[in-house]
Amino acid sequence: MAGKEIRIYGEDESAIKIRPYEHHAKYYETDQMGIVHHSNYIRWMEEARIDFLRQIGWDYAKLESIGIISPVIAVNCKYKKSTTFEDVIDIDVIVEEFKEVKLKLQYTMTNAQGEIVCQGYSEHGFINPEGKLIRLK
């Protein structure tokens, strides 16, 4: 993954850079045919989202410590190519849309050959610990 960092904010040494999340497909994630089961891609999106938020300084522990809970309100996944045990998948996460009450993240998963294996998105709301909607600015 060296060299795959992208600058998302700032200049020179002050720039915030993020790197794709790297997932190594596990044997238990495959089905009887040796193909990664479709449900795992949604899990990989969550892993990549957690890593992305950590990289930009807003990990879940920090959000929850200030009273922000971010439930998933929608998820979508389009499968392009099969993956198998021990494939290494890079997952790029970008903010597609941010509104005061909703965040939409887009995921692009590529294999070691640079082929897109899956694309998807997740949408998240913001609530307080009592379950009331929060508007973020």
pLDDT digits (tens, 9 = 90+) for 57-100: 999 999 999 999 999 999 999 999 999 999 999 999 999 999 99
pLDDT digits (tens, 9 = 90+) for 27-63: 999 999 999 999 999 999 999 999 999 999 999 999 9
Q: CA–CA separation, 8 vs 6, rounded Å? A: 6
User: Which residues, other chains included, contact 82 with Cβ-Cβ below 8 Å and sequence gap of 6+?
Assistant: 35, 36, 117
Are the CB atoms for 121 and 96 separated by under 8 Å?
Answer: yes
* Residue whose token pair is 């060296």: 2
pLDDT digits (tens, 9 = 90+) for 1-26: 444 665 555 566 666 678 999 999 99
pTM: 0.87
